[in-house]
Structure 1
Amino acid sequence: MTPRGCLICAPLVARSVSQMLTQMQEAKANGADVVESRVDHIPGFNAAKDLPVLLNARTLPMIVTARAKWEGGVYEGEETERQKLLELAVKLGADYVDIELQVARDFIATLKQNKIVSETKVIVSNHNWEVTPSLHEIGELVARIQSTGADIVKFATTATNITDVSRVLRLLAHSQVPTIALVMGPKGVIGRILCPKYGGYLTFGALSKGQESAPGQPTLADLSHVYRVGQLGRDTKVFGIIGNPVYHSKSPILHNAAFEKCSIDAVYVPFLVEDLAEFLSIYSVPDFGGFSVTIPHKEAALKCCDEVDPIAKAIGAVNTIVRKSDGKLVGYNTDCDGALTAIEDGLHESGLASQGTSSPLKDKLFVVIGAGGAGKALAFGARERGARVVIANRNFGRAKELADAVGGEAIQLEKLSEFRPETGMVLANSTSIGMQPDINQSPLPKDALSAYCLVFDAVYTPRTTKLLREAAEVGAAVVSGVEMFIRQAYGQFELFTGQPAPKELMREIVMASY
C-alpha cells in the first residue's frame, strides 16, 4: 500500500506484448500506480517467452491476469495451462497475480506444495455479471475468498440500481483485510470513484474510452484529474448531480476543480438515478452533503425535501439540495437567476436594451418551450421581471397549468411555428431537444425564428445547438445554455460550501471543456 491509500490501476487490454508495453508507459504518464496485464487478450500468448519480457520491462507494479472465459475473460486454453501461466508469473516475481475464487484454493495449495517463495500477492477474485447480492451474501462471499488464503480480496458485482452500490461501500468500510470492491455497469460508476473514501485497496481506470476491461469503468484521466481519487479519504464530503441521463454533464469537471481551488475536502460525482426518493433515503448519511438535480427529477425533488426555499417553492422545481447538519434536506432553485441574468445580459450586450434600473425583459413577450422544472424557472423568473409569458408544450394541459400559475398564455408546441403576434419577442427553450446525441433536432423550424430578437437554449451540450445556430442565421441574438449552466453552478457551489464561488476559474473550466 502506498501513502496515497487507494491505488489506481490501469488495465492493459492490448493484442500484443509490444503494444502492452507501450500502454504501460502511457498508464504511468497518466497517473496510474499499478497496471493489470490482461494477457488473456493477447492471441497466442506464450508464457515462457512473453512473461519475462513483460515483467522485466515493467515500470509500474503489475498484476498478471489471464481471465478465464467462464469468469468473463477471453482465455480459451486448458485450465491447467492457464494456472501454470500464473504460477510462472509468481516464480518470476510478479507483484500480483489474479486468480478466480472457483479455483483459488487449489492454486494457492499448489504454490505451497511446490515451495514457491515469492513476494507476489495473490488476488482472489469473484465476478457477478448479473446483480449485486444482499449485504449478508456479500459478507459470506468475502469470507469464502479469505478462506482460500488470499492476500487481497476482490469482488465485482453488477448494479441494477444505483442503491446497490451502497451495500458494497458499507461492506468495504468495515473490511479488515485489503479489499478491492467494484460495482460494474452504468449504475455502479460511483462505487469505482468513491471506493477510496471507504478504504478500497485499488480501483480501475481505463487508458481511454473503448479500452475498458469491464462495463462502467471510468478512464484513468477522469479518476486522476477530475475526481482526484488519490486525495479522497474517510472525511471527504460527497456531492453530485442526480439525473437520468447524467454522464453527459460537465458538472463534475466544474465542481471538482472548484473544490480543489478552494482546498475543500470534497468530491462531486454523477448519480444515475431512477427513483429520487429511494436514492435519497438510501444515501442519507451526513457524508453525502448535497446534490445538483437535473432532468427528470427537478419537480420530484420538491416533494423529497424537508424544507424548500420560497423561490423554489413558487417555481415548483428544485435544482439544488443541501443536507443540513441536523440531516434535513433543504431545496433551492439556482436555475432561475442563472438563466434570467444570462438572458438580460444578452439583451444588453446585443444592444437590444438600454441600461436602466428595470429589467430589459419588462413588457417583452417571453415564450418558454417546455413546462418542466427548467421551464418553470424561466417562466417565474420572466414574470418577476415584468415580462408577458407564453408557455408552449406538447402536453397542453401542463402548459396551461404553468401559464395559469404565472398569469400567462398557453399554446401547443405544434402551433408555435405560426405564433407571431409581434416582433422582438424572446424565446427560451427549456427542453432537452437538440442535446447530444440528437444534435440535428430543434424545437422550432428556422423560418419561425425571425420573430424573435433573442433566443436562449438551456441545452449546453453542444454549446451551440441547431436552434441557436439557425436563430443567429436569421439575425437574432443568441444566449447559450452554457451561460445558465455556469451561473447556476455559482449558486450551487456557495450553497454546498458556504464559501464564495471561484467564478473566474469555473468559467474557464467550462469554456475549456468545449
Structure 2
Amino acid sequence: MICVTIATGSHKRLILERENLVADGIKFVEFRLDFLRKAPELNRLIPERPCATVITCRRPQDGGLWRESEERRLTTLREAIVAGVEFVDLEVDVAPTIPRYGQTKRIVSHHDMNSMPDDLEALYERMLKGDPDFVKIAVMPKTIDDVFRLLHFVEGKNVKAKLGGGRERRTIGIAMGEMGRMSRILAKKFGMPFTYATFSRSRVVAPGLIDYRHLRDDYRYDTLGTDVDVYGVVGYPIGHSLSPAIHNASFVAQEMRRVYLPFAIPPEELDRFVDRAPEIDVRGLSVTIPHKVAVIKKLTRLDPAVEEIGACNTVVFDGPQRIGYNTDYIAAVMSIEVAMGGKGNEPEGILFGKKALVLGAGGAGKALAYGLMKRGARVTVVDALIDRAHELADQLDCHYCEWENRAALRPDIVVNCTPIGMHPNVDASPMERAMLRDGMVVFDAVYNPEHTMLIRLAQERGCKTVSGVEMFVGQACLQFKLFTGQKASAKLMREILKKSISSVKE
C-alpha cells in the first residue's frame, strides 16, 4: 500500500488534497501537521475522513517544521489518538510517554537526516519499548552498503513478524536521498507494510520522496512482490534518465512482472553496488554517465565490442556471470545510415569513406567512433580535454584534433556525444550555425530535448538530422532483448519517450 504524505500550509488545502487523492483511488494518507501555518485544528481534519489517515507532527531535528512548544506538539498527538484517528506517528523517544488508547495504531519512528545508525538491532530494541504496531526507520545512507544493510535488516524483521509468535513488528525502512530511492520503490519486496509518497512532485518533504502517481502508475508499486525481478539504469546523477519510463511500459505491454529502477550511484560506490546488486535480484543494468568505462573492471565476460570500444552500456547478471555489452554504437550507426538513405545494416555501405567528426571522447563518443569506423568512415575525435581525445584516437587508430579546430575539418557527418544542449541547458550547442553546411548529416545523442539547439541549427542550414531519440530507442530495444529474451516495441518506446520528454518540459 502507498501512504501519500500531504504537507500544506492550510487546513483547507489539506482537506482538499485528501479529497483529490481519494477521488484518484488513494486509500491511505499522512497529514503533516508541522507544515500548517496555524495551530492544528483536529476537529476539522479527523471527523468524517474519507480514508485511513496518519497524523504526524515532526520536530525540526527529525526533518520537520514544528514551530511551537514540545508540550503543545505532544498534546496534539494525544488528542489525535483520543479522536480515534487510524494511525499516529510517534518518535522513539516520546512514544513511551504516550500510552496506547482506543483503536489507533502506533507507528514508532526514528529519523536521522544525517547518518546511519551503527547498531540497528539496538535501535530496534529501543523502539519496541514504545509499544509499536509498526516500526519506521528513516536514515540517510552514506554508502551503498548502508542501503543494503538497512534493507536486509528490515526484511529479516518482516519475515519474523509474518511468522508471528515473537516480539517483532512490521517494519518500514527508508534510506533517504537519491541513493536510497530503491528502498521506497521496492518496499514490498522486503516485506514492508507500506511505503510513503508525496502528493505533489513540487512538494517533496523528505529527500528521495517520490510522487505517488509515479510510484503507482510507472513503477506499478502494488504489483511488486518479494519475487519481482529488478532491472535499472545506474549513473550519477540519474534523475534526468527516461529509461525507467520506457522499460517499465514495455514490461507492462508484455505482461512481465519486472521493474526497472533508477540507481543513483556515485563513482566511489559503483564497485560495491555491482558486487551487491544480485542481493536484491537485479538481473540487468543499463549503464550511463559516468560509469560506462569504470564498470568494465567488475565484469566477468565482455562482448567483443566492449573490449574494442572500452565502454559498456549494458550489464546482464546470469548466475555468477556479469556480462557486458554495448548497444549504443549499433543503434546510433544504424539511425545515421537510415537518415542517409541506407538500410541500417551495411558493414561497409553508405558510410564508407565519409569524413565523420565525433564530438566528445567519453563512453558514448567511444561507441560512436568505433561504430563509424567499423562501417568504413574516416573518423576524427575532438574533446574539450585534448588528452582524452588523443587517448581515444590512439585506441581506435583514428584522428583527433583540438576542440577549437573542429570547424576546420569540413566533415560529412557530425556526431555530438557531449551533454551540451541537454535539458535544462537547452540553448547551448557544441557547433555554431556557421560550422554547419547544406548536405551535412548531423546526429545528436542528446534526447532530452528531442530537438536540441544543434538539431535546430542544422535544420536551418539544410542538414540531414538525426535526433537522440532514435539512438535511445534503438539501444533500449537491444537492451530489452538482452534482459528478457523478447523483442520490445520500438513504436511504444518512442511514444513513451516523447510523452516523457513533454512532461519534463512542463
Same fold by TM-score greater than 0.5: yes
What is the one-letter code of the residue matched to 2:138? A
Partner residue in 1 for 2:73: 82
Please name the residue that 2:117 is paired with.
133
Cα distance in 1 between the residues matched to 2:142 and 2:25 = 31
Name the structure 1 match of 2:104: 120
TM-fit CA distance, 1:105: 0.4
Q: CA deviation at 1:237?
A: 0.8
Q: C-alpha distance in 1, partners of 2:219/2:345?
A: 42
Distance (Å, rounded) in 2 between the aligned partners of 1:354 and 1:305: 30
Deviations 1:25-74 (A, max 9, x none): 2223444331111112112224xxx3132122322200011212332222
The answer to whether residue 283 in structure 2 is matched with residue 289 in structure 1 is yes
Aligned mates of 1:400, 1:189 — CA distance in 2: 38
Q: Give the ranges of 4+ consecutive aligned residues of structure 1 lying more than 6 Å apart after TM superposition.
A: 353-357
**Residue 151 of structure 1 aligns with which residue?**
133
Separation in 2, partners of 1:69, 1:347: 60
Could you say what secondary structure the match of 2:414 adopts? strand
Question: 8 Å contact 1:389–1:407 — kept in the other structure?
Answer: no
2:143 corresponds to which residue?
Answer: 161
* Alpha-carbon distance in structure 1 between the residues aligned to 2:145 and 2:331: 31
The whole-number CA distance in structure 2 between the counterparts of 1:159 and 1:90 is 32
- Render the CA deviation track for 1:66-103: whole Å, top value 9, x for unaligned: 21233222222232222221122112210101111111
Match of 1:272 in 2: 264
User: What percent identity do the matched residue pairs reach?
Assistant: 37
Q: Look up the SS of the partner of 2:109 in the other structure.
A: strand
Please give the alpha-carbon distance, in whole angstroms, between the structure 2 residues aligned to 1:494 and 1:391.
31
Q: Is the 8 A contact 1:21 1:57 kept in 2?
A: no
Distance 2:394 2:346 in 1: 30
* Aligned-partner Cα distance in 1 for 2:394–2:68: 70
| 1:171 Cα deviation from its structure 2 partner | 1.0
d(CA) in 2 for partners of 1:363 and 1:36? Answer: 64
In the TM superposition, what is the alpha-carbon distance from 1:481 to its structure 2 partner? 0.7
Shift of 1:147: 2.1
Number of residue equivalences: 489
Aligned partner of 1:35: which letter? V
Question: Is the alpha carbon distance of 1:11 and 1:354 closer, same or farther for their aligned partners in structure 2, counting shifts above 3 Å?
Answer: closer
In 1, Cα distance between equivalents of 2:357 and 2:23: 51
Which residue number corresponds to residue 441 of structure 1? 428
Which of these residues, 13, 16, 27, is aligned with residue 21 of structure 2?
Answer: 27
**Unmatched runs of 5 consecutive residues or more in structure 1:** 1-6
Hey, what does 2:337 align to over in structure 1? 344
Q: Tell me the SS of whatever aligns to 1:455.
A: strand
User: Which one is further off, 28-37 or 202-211?
Assistant: 28-37
Please state whether the residue corresponding to 1:186 is helix, strand or coil.
Answer: coil
How far off is 1:354 after superposition?
12
Superposition pairs of residues 16-415 of structure 1, within 5 angstroms? 16-46=10-40, 50-108=41-99, 111=100, 116=101, 118-134=102-118, 137-175=119-157, 176=161, 177-274=169-266, 275=268, 276-285=270-279, 287-324=281-318, 326-348=319-341, 359-415=349-405
Residue 476 (structure 1) aligns with: 463
Contact 2:316 2:482 in 1 (8 A): yes
Cα deviation, 1:273-296, whole Å, max 9, x if unaligned, reads 123212112323271111000011
Contact 1:17 1:54 in 2 (8 A): yes
Q: How does 1:456-495 map to 2 (within 5 A)?
A: 456-495=443-482
Considering only aligned residues, what root-mean-square deviation do their CA atoms show, in Å? 1.9
Residue 418 of structure 1 corresponds to 408
Q: 1:291 to 1:170 in 2, by over 3 A?
A: same
Alignment check: 8 A CA contact 1:436 1:461 kept: yes
SS class of match (2:136): strand
Which deviations, in whole Å up to 9, do the C-alpha atoms of 1:137-185 show, x marking residues without a partner? 1222112111221111011001233442111111111113211211112
What residue number does 2:166 align with?
none
Partner of 1:4: none
Give SS of 2:437's match: helix
Alignment-mate amino acid for residue 454 of structure 2:
L
Instruction: State TM-score, norm by structure 2.
Output: 0.92
For structure 1, which segment, 52-61 or 374-383, has the greater mean C-alpha deviation from structure 2 after superposition?
A: 52-61
User: How far, CA to CA, are the matches of 1:196 and 1:79 in structure 2?
Assistant: 34
Structure 2 CA distance for partners of 1:64 and 1:356, relative to 1, 3 Å: closer
Distance change (3 Å), C-alpha of 1:210 and 1:460:
same
CA shift for structure 1 position 504: 2.6
Write the letter of the residue equivalent to 2:468.
G
Write the deviation string for residues 104-140 of structure 1: whole angstroms up to 9, x where unpaired. Answer: 10112xx4xxxx4x21101111100111233xx1222
Once residues 286 and 61 of structure 1 are traced to their aligned partners in structure 2, the CA distance between those partners, rounded to angstroms, is 31
Secondary structure of the residue that 1:56 maps to in structure 2? Answer: coil
**SS of the residue 1:255 aligns to:** helix
Looking at structure 2, the residues matched to 286 and 19 of structure 1 have their Cα atoms a distance apart, in angstroms, of 39
Report deviation, 1:491: 0.7
